[in-house]
Amino acid sequence: MNTQNWTMPEVGIGTFVVVDSNPDFKHPSFGIVVATYPRAVSIYIVTENDYGIMTDCLHVSDPGLETVEKILRQTPHRGVWDLAPVEKERREATREIRTLREEMERLKATQHEFAVQVNHVQQSVTDVRNNQPARRGRPPKVRDTDPVPN
């Protein structure tokens, strides 16, 4: 993939991520994005023994990562990141909620259409029961005195 066409996943300050100083993610740490750049982020990390900032971290899918792997291995304050599992779940839940809201709006519109149709049918039945003349577009009503067709 051409590195110029690649787009980093959308993240903002406060996004939960996992980060490692090696692209193999053998020892990932939990982190929170504290700064974003066009192709990198800075991450506040917390481990069981320490905390700190990793700067200029590249996303694991960044095609330019191949050219900087050696630099990453030699520079402990840089790393590779990916969305934390909890962040991936939150994003999926947000997509599902958005889809459900859209479906609810469609169902409300359909319910309204049905209510209007039922109202028209109820009005037609009331008109027939009250012996009112047929409206335009409706077949004439049959009266008890009309001869029955054979």
31-59 pLDDT per residue, tens: 999 999 988 999 999 888 888 999 889 99
d(CA 114, CA 112): 5
Q: Is 134 a residue whose pLDDT tops 60?
A: no
Higher pLDDT among residues 76 and 30, named by residue: 30
Of residues 102 and 139, the one with the higher pLDDT is: 102
pTM score: 0.65
pLDDT attached to residue 74: 62
Classify residue 138 by its DSSP letter. Answer: S
DSSP three-state, residue 109: helix
Closest CA to 69 of 77, 58, 55: 58
Higher pLDDT, 113 or 82: 82
How far apart (Å, rounded) are the C-alpha atoms in residues 68 and 20? Answer: 14
List b or e across 48-78, with b for residues whose CB sees 16 or more CB atoms inside 10 angstroms. Answer: eeeeeebbbbbbbebeeeeebeeebeeeeeb
Could you tell me what percent of the chain has a pLDDT over 90?
39
pLDDT at 142: 60
Which tops the pLDDT comparison, 142 or 22?
22
pLDDT of residue 68: 67
